[in-house]
């Protein structure tokens, strides 16, 4: 009887020690705060920079009432305020939100809005407070820019 008790005690201690191994004590791996993905997450102000064929700035257009927001779950929102004084006083009743999903592949940001094909932008540079997307082709019908503009860099500046 004493041997059975010792055997049960030995087996129990083996199970107890294996159940408390190092593997159970690890925490899930979180993306680094300096990772490209973590730098992207937040709300951003948008500015378009019109470039000529030589890459020189021709025009700068700040999208005063339009913002983009990237969320940690790979979704986001394009946000636009339609009220006349939206730069100083954004009116939540005049807010239009267009949701999207996003993913990164290297230095390319892919975005998909509902019922539209996936599009991408190349990231020229990124920091915690600023992102520059390079060489977005100008649509000939885009009336915002001078005719000398052939390419557009888009600059995001962090709001939060």
pLDDT band of residue 26 (cuts 50, 70, 90) is low
- Does residue 28 lie in a domain region? no
Task: Report pLDDT for 145.
Answer: 84
pLDDT band of residue 155 (cuts 50, 70, 90) is very high
- DSSP 3-state assignment of 105? strand
State phi, psi for 121 to the nearest 5 degrees: -130, 145
CATH number of the domain bearing residue 65: 2.40.128.280
- Does residue 14 lie in a domain region? no
Q: 91-106, pLDDT tens digit by residue?
A: 888 899 999 999 999 9
Task: Report pLDDT for 2.
Answer: 44
- DSSP 3-state assignment of 132? strand
Q: Exposed (0-12), middle (13-18) or buried (19+): which is 97, by Cβ within 10 Å? A: exposed
- Does residue 123 lie in a domain region? yes
Determine the average pLDDT of the residues in 57-67: 92
User: What total of structural domains would you count in the chain?
Assistant: 1
Domain extent, residue 94, equals 34-158
């Amino acid at each position: 009887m004493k041997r059975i008790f010792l055997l049960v005690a030995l087996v129990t201690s083996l199970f107890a020690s294996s159940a408390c191994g190092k593997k159970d004590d690890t925490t899930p791996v979180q993306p680094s705060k300096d990772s490209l993905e973590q730098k992207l997450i937040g709300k951003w102000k948008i500015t378009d920079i019109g470039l000529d064929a030589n890459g020189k700035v021709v025009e700068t257009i700040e999208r005063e009432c339009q913002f983009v927001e990237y969320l940690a779950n790979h979704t986001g929102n394009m946000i636009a305020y339609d009220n006349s004084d939206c730069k100083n006083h954004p009116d939540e009743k005049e807010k239009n939100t267009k949701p999207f999903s996003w993913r990164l592949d290297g230095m390319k940001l892919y975005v998909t809005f509902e019922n539209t094909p996936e599009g991408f932008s190349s990231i020229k540079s990124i920091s915690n407070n600023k992102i520059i997307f390079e060489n977005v082709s100008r649509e000939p019908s885009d009336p915002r820019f001078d005719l000398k503009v052939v390419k557009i860099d888009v600059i995001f500046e962090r709001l939060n």
